[in-house]
Chain A
Amino acid sequence: MIEAVGLTKRYGAKTAVYDLSFQVRPGAVTGFLGPNGAGKSTTMRMILGLDQPTSGHVTVCGSPYRQLPNAPRQVGALLDAKAVHGGRSARNHLLSLAQLSGIPARRVDEVLGVVGLQEVAKRRSGGFSLGMGQRLGIAAALLGDPQVLLFDEPVNGLDPEGILWVRNLMKQLAAEGRTVFVSSHLMSEMALTADHLIVIGRGQLMADMSVRDFIAHNSAGFARVRTPQGDPGQREKLSAALTGAGGQVLPEQDGALRVTGLALPRISDLAHEADVRLWELSPHQASLEEAYMRMTQGAVDYRSTDDQKEGLQPDQQPGGPAPLPHVPEVPQQGWYAPPPPATSPPGQPASAVTAPEAPADAAASRPPAATDPTQSEDPR
């Protein structure tokens, strides 16, 4: 159990984390999401007592990290796979960490086996690949057999087999009743691993809910309606009827209509009343990735129009990966067409746009595993 209350961290004028409160519970994998520079690593460092919060506090298993009697036996953490002395062998690295908390040396060989590094245990870790480094970091986290585990970007640099392994490991650790807190900027990865999500953007909490709720609250689902081809009159008639009933209609290039704000049965009824035949009436649910982009996009717009929170804007690092796509005019291009510009500006919370079908149902009937950006527009 991790509990943060009003956590704030300032570095000079820059605010990395602002008034963050959340709980991470045992028995589930909790994903910690945010774009680059959102404050994920800073939060993790504060949880581990490496950084002192400017205000607020965070406790692990009920007490601040630095006051735990034997911290590694209760909390294991992978912060940075490169945070090892490259001149030391993998085994000696783990041995020194084990000795620090009185863990027997045979546990070192045990965890080396768990992460599959027995073969290279005697090799200097400086020569390890990024993936091997990640495995070594995970071994260090597992060393104390702790009930709380923190992983900062654990799948970075892993091959597909390694990613699958980490995914299953997280789930297994959570199933054993442990608290698993995993940070990532990859929404697609979290969709497969996490049960619960904590999303932060620009150092502030944006969402704290289950993966299913997250999609339901943040996705802009829509219905695609197709009228018989070669009869534009019918299309216009339906369009007018739908708009009259409060829906938002956006024509697609191939002649279909994209409708938001009306439930599917209502669209069908309206079409029936208008005496328009339908060739297609299909629900479309945004993927987790879209929901996430939409949410963080909103945060950027919100912040940039608010002068009082100017200090929260982290510096743009030249050359570094852009934290967010800054194209408010055409948000999520490539994922799906933008929402009607007049009714849903990008800054507006996406949940304001009502999904045509009860979103929870759509999310429930579609397992998270199927949420892939490329599949989001497939008709079911």
Chain B
Amino acid sequence: MTTPHQQPAAPAASYTSPIPIRRAHLGDALASEWTKIRSVRSTMWTLGVMVLLMTVIGLGLAALVTAVGEPAPTDESVLGLGVFGALTGSICVITLGALTVTSEFGTGMIRTTLTACPSRARVLAAKALVFFVLAFTAALVTVGLVALCQVAMVDGREPTGEEWLLGTVGVSLFVALLGLTSLGVGAVVRHSAGAITIMLGLMLLPLVAGFFMLGSSALQDVSEVLLEYSVPAQLIGVYGEAAGSGPAGWGAVATMLGIAAVALGAGFAAIGARDV
């Protein structure tokens, strides 16, 4: 049935575009991802809610502490009040991180993107970079302003330079890295709800499980590890108060960096190997 075909005389020279062709690089992908992330509403919504939550919770707590008039304990800085806002706000960052990748899979846009840029690692790297810088900047500005207000409102020990750095840059890094972890998980599971659920579980389950294990003496060690390395405990650790022997200060940020690196690594492996 199949016969070798005789093509009618085709033009010898094929088409060449008048627009000069140059090699595409990571910079192009970064510009593209920036266009993508700024042109969807979910970015504004998630970051807006994050800013709102951090501000309202941070300032509300400061106002509450001031109203009660309880003398602040001298061993901890006022900046520690920011932990609740940061913890709540990080859920928004997780959502945005997951959506950055999974919304492309959900809509099928990923096929269009990977057709336009067959280098999958470049696409994911650009996504991760753009998301990280955006989340970090948004968190830093919010956390910084809230911290300034808190220090101004609450009487207490003036935070040291190191505490300032940890309470603003450290916390913002921690939150942005948590979002990056979510992005990596999103690249692996390719499903928005799935990725966000996994991240929330990752955040809260160790804490909950650890509390339930406290009653049993046999599980004492496991319980301690779970509690010390749970995300909320580490976030508290960034503010300088380690839970038991868990990481504190920059150590907690470094732990988060390790987790984010693992998640992103898995994301790179998954997106590179799979069919889309």
- Contact residues of A with B, CB < 8 Å? 1, 25-28, 45, 48-52, 65-75, 77, 79-80, 82-89, 92, 95-97, 99-104, 107, 140, 144-147, 176-179, 195-196, 205-210, 213, 217-218, 295, 298, 349, 351
Q: Is the CB of B8 within 8 A of A210?
A: yes
**A25–B3 alpha-carbon span in the complex (Å):** 16
CB distance from A294 to the nearest CB of B (A): 11
Which 10 residue pairs across A and B have the least CB separation, nearest first? A83-B108, A27-B10, A145-B17, A92-B39, A99-B32, A66-B118, A177-B15, A26-B14, A100-B32, A51-B275
**5 A-B pairs (CB sep. < 8 Å):** A96-B32, A96-B36, A99-B32, A210-B6, A213-B6
B11 within 8 A of A: yes
B7 within 8 A of A: yes
**A87–B276 alpha-carbon span in the complex (Å):** 21
Q: Is the CB of B112 within 8 A of A97?
A: yes
Q: Is the CB of B119 within 8 A of A96?
A: no
B245 within 8 A of A: no
With A101-B117, A210-B8 given, is the CB distance from A70 to B15 under 8 Å?
Answer: no
Q: Can you name the residue of chain B whose Cβ is closest to the Cβ of A69? A: B23
* B216: chain A residues within 8 A (beta carbon): none
**A205–B10 alpha-carbon span in the complex (Å):** 23
12-27 of chain B: CB within 8 A of chain A: 13-19, 21-24
Q: Is the CB of B15 within 8 A of A26?
A: yes
Q: Is the CB of A25 within 8 A of B23?
A: no
Q: Is the CB of B22 within 8 A of A102?
A: yes
Q: Can you name the residue of chain A whose Cβ is closest to the Cβ of B112? A: A83
With A85-B103, A205-B2, A210-B8 given, is the CB distance from A107 to B19 under 8 Å?
Answer: yes
CB distance from B141 to the nearest CB of A (A): 25
**A89–B109 alpha-carbon span in the complex (Å):** 13
**A205–B3 alpha-carbon span in the complex (Å):** 11
Q: Is the CB of B7 within 8 A of A196?
A: yes
**A177–B42 alpha-carbon span in the complex (Å):** 43
Q: Is the CB of A99 within 8 A of B35?
A: yes
Q: Can you name the residue of chain B whose Cβ is closest to the Cβ of A110? A: B19
Q: Is the CB of B276 within 8 A of A349?
A: no
**A107–B21 alpha-carbon span in the complex (Å):** 13
Partner of A77, one of B11, B16, B104, B115: B115
Partner of A85, one of B14, B18, B31, B107: B107
Q: Is the CB of A70 within 8 A of B22?
A: yes
Q: Can you name the residue of chain A whose Cβ is closest to the Cβ of B43? A: A87
CB distance from B275 to the nearest CB of A (A): 4
CB distance from B104 to the nearest CB of A (A): 7
* A72: chain B residues within 8 A (beta carbon): 115-117
Partner of B15, one of A102, A103, A147: A147
* B2: chain A residues within 8 A (beta carbon): 205-209
- Contact residues of B with A, CB < 8 Å? 1-8, 10-11, 13-19, 21-24, 28-29, 31-33, 35-36, 39-42, 103-104, 107-119, 275-276
Q: Is the CB of A101 within 8 A of B28?
A: yes
Q: Is the CB of B40 within 8 A of A88?
A: yes
* B10: chain A residues within 8 A (beta carbon): 25-28
Q: Is the CB of A177 within 8 A of B11?
A: yes
With A68-B118, A73-B17, A207-B1 given, is the CB distance from A83 to B7 under 8 Å?
Answer: no
Q: Can you name the residue of chain B whose Cβ is closest to the Cβ of A205? A: B2
Interface of B is mostly: loop
**A1–B10 alpha-carbon span in the complex (Å):** 11
Q: Is the CB of A85 within 8 A of B109?
A: yes
**A209–B3 alpha-carbon span in the complex (Å):** 7
CB distance from B130 to the nearest CB of A (A): 11
With A147-B15, A177-B14, A210-B8 given, is the CB distance from A87 to B29 under 8 Å?
Answer: no
Q: Can you name the residue of chain B whose Cβ is closest to the Cβ of A82? A: B108
CB distance from B263 to the nearest CB of A (A): 23
* A101: chain B residues within 8 A (beta carbon): 24, 28, 116-117
CB distance from B57 to the nearest CB of A (A): 28
**A68–B115 alpha-carbon span in the complex (Å):** 11
Q: Can you name the residue of chain A whose Cβ is closest to the Cβ of B40? A: A87
**A101–B2 alpha-carbon span in the complex (Å):** 39
Partner of B28, one of A65, A102, A144, A206: A102
**A176–B17 alpha-carbon span in the complex (Å):** 10
**A51–B107 alpha-carbon span in the complex (Å):** 18
With A70-B22, A144-B17 given, is the CB distance from A195 to B35 under 8 Å?
Answer: no
**A208–B7 alpha-carbon span in the complex (Å):** 10
CB distance from A44 to the nearest CB of B (A): 10
The interface centre, meaning the residue of B21, B29, B32 with most chain A CB atoms within 10 A of its CB, is: B21
Q: Is the CB of A213 within 8 A of B5?
A: yes
* A145: chain B residues within 8 A (beta carbon): 17-19
CB distance from A352 to the nearest CB of B (A): 10
* B28: chain A residues within 8 A (beta carbon): 99-102
Q: Is the CB of B21 within 8 A of A95?
A: no
* A70: chain B residues within 8 A (beta carbon): 21-24
**A48–B11 alpha-carbon span in the complex (Å):** 24
Q: Is the CB of B39 within 8 A of A27?
A: no
With A27-B14, A217-B1 given, is the CB distance from A73 to B21 under 8 Å?
Answer: yes
Q: Is the CB of A49 within 8 A of B118?
A: yes
CB distance from A50 to the nearest CB of B (A): 5
CB distance from A114 to the nearest CB of B (A): 14
Partner of B39, one of A50, A88, A177: A88
Partner of B116, one of A67, A71, A298: A71
CB distance from B39 to the nearest CB of A (A): 4
Partner of A147, one of B8, B16, B110: B16
Partner of B13, one of A74, A97, A144, A177: A177
* A75: chain B residues within 8 A (beta carbon): 115
CB distance from B33 to the nearest CB of A (A): 8
Q: Can you name the residue of chain B whose Cβ is closest to the Cβ of A351? A: B1
**A51–B32 alpha-carbon span in the complex (Å):** 23
* B118: chain A residues within 8 A (beta carbon): 48-49, 65-68, 71
Q: Can you name the residue of chain B whose Cβ is closest to the Cβ of A97? A: B116
**A295–B28 alpha-carbon span in the complex (Å):** 47
